[in-house]
Chains A and B, each alone.
Chain A
Amino acid sequence: MPDYVHPEVLVSTDWVAEHLSDPQVRIVESDEDRALYTQGHLPGAVEIDWAVDLQCQVERDYIDRAAFEKLCAERGISNDTTVVFYGDQNNWWACYAFWVFKLYGHKDCRIMNGGRKRWDLDSRPWSSERVSYPHASYVAQEQDPAIRALRDEVLKHQRTGKQLLDVRSPEEYRGERMHMPDYPNEGAIRGGHIPGAVNVPWPMNCHDDGTFKSAKDLEKLYIKELKMKRRSPTIAYCRIGERSSLTWFVLTYLLGFGNVKNYDGSWLEWGNCVRVPIAKGGEPGGPSAASASPPPASASPTPAVHA
């Protein structure tokens, strides 16, 4: 994977197959549907669940530093372990777990390109055996504010017209889909997007087999067509920060953007906030509207980019 700016963070299913028993490597599965891991996982892989393991069960936040240290220790992960994440849904939860590990300063994190789907397409073995490792010792860093944006920062970022990416579906972006039938408590009170945000739905980063698109294709989309700048501060968001972790990963590691933050509060926070600006419809709107680019012609076959 030589074309990416940081190719070392992406490993192939071949590489993982060769390192399944490597004591220096811990394979971690993170899924949308955690029963998938129960049903069958990579031999020797442990599970880290976004909802139960990574999120605080009381406040809307991540687990604290001490809980993160405990989680790693229990999974047999030390500070010097190479942690390889993979999962379902084109690795979006894998990228989310990767992001939380980076938040606490874990050094060597990687993603298995293509996740469960690619592993399955390659007809590789699954295991339903219970996996456990001897406890490790782990010392986490303080949370790294360089990769996480909180609401006030997003507001300031928005007001100054900086690069903002909404990676949800076009319907969510336009504000047409906001309250989902039978989900009275999960949705936001208001629909639309943060003014100035450009809509690049997260699947545009991936091929059908779950692997990431080439550096060339990604550069074409973000840099040539959307005129995004690698050095400009960028914030990505979605509904709860999961799909935007994938975009954060793509921008930071595959394209080498220097300053990307994930706004994990995302639309479930913004759409419920009092007195924050919201734009409806397909145009970015807002202070950065003037610098936004027109819809890229090559992206038009799918109703995906509404710049």
Chain B
Amino acid sequence: MASVQERLGELIGEFADLDAREKLELLVDFANGLPPLPAEYEARKAVEDRRVRECQTPVFLWMESDGTGASTFVAEVAPEAPTVKGFVAILAAAVNGRPVAEVASLSDDMLDRMGLADVLGILRTRGLRAIVARVKRGFAELAAAGTGN
């Protein structure tokens, strides 16, 4: 089974050699593929503090372990933020099922490798970096608490 880094490499590889418009179209494709929030999370959304406050639009993230130490990454992103939604979908595809400690040590350069800075500008890519940081921190906390062993 490919590591989170290898999976990410493969997903990000799809962005190589695309022009700006094609990159945005691919992001939108990923956004459309993010599954709807499962019913049990819908109920939890109301009572748990899972909203990413730095984001203008509603973004809810759950970083969890399935009990065997494998990562479960569930997210809901408002439809008015397709860039964030597409980006989160890529993260989810790479992260889900991998050991939490492995996800916690994910390298930070995925945005640079996707070449999104030219397409989105500096401030927007910082917002996406914040999401990577938050996801990594969530899984790092699980790993530190021993949930990931």
| A interface residue numbers (CB < 8 A to B) | 32-36, 38-39, 49-52, 55, 88-89, 130, 180-183, 185-186, 240
Contact = CB atoms under 8 A, between A and B. Distances in A.
Nearest to A240: B123
Interface of B: 20-21, 24-25, 27-28, 31, 53-54, 56-57, 80-84, 86, 118-124, 126-127, 129-130, 133-134
Which 4 A-B residue pairs are closest in the complex by CB-CB distance?
A51-B121, A182-B130, A35-B82, A38-B24
A35 B56 contact: no
A183 B24 contact: no
Contacts, number: 66
Contacts of B28: 35, 38-39
A51 B82 contact: no
Given A35-B28, A51-B120, A51-B124, A181 B53 contact: yes
A89 B123 CA distance: 17
Nearest to A51: B121
B82 A55 contact: no
Nearest to B20: A52
B126 A185 contact: yes
24 contacts: A32-B56, A33-B82, A33-B83, A39-B31, A39-B82, A51-B120, A51-B121, A51-B122, A51-B123, A52-B118, A52-B119, A52-B120, A52-B121, A55-B121, A88-B80, A89-B56, A180-B130, A181-B53, A181-B54, A182-B133, A183-B54, A183-B126, A183-B130, A185-B126
Contacts of A32: 56-57, 81
A89 B56 CA distance: 9
B120 to A, nearest CB: 7
A18 to B, nearest CB: 26
A181 B118 CA distance: 24
A88 B56 CA distance: 12
B106 to A, nearest CB: 15
A38 B21 contact: yes
B54 A182 contact: yes
Contacts of B81: 32-33
A32 B121 CA distance: 11
Given A35-B24, A51-B123, A186-B126, 8 more contacts: A32-B57, A32-B81, A38-B82, A39-B28, A51-B121, A51-B124, A180-B54, A182-B134
Nearest to B127: A183
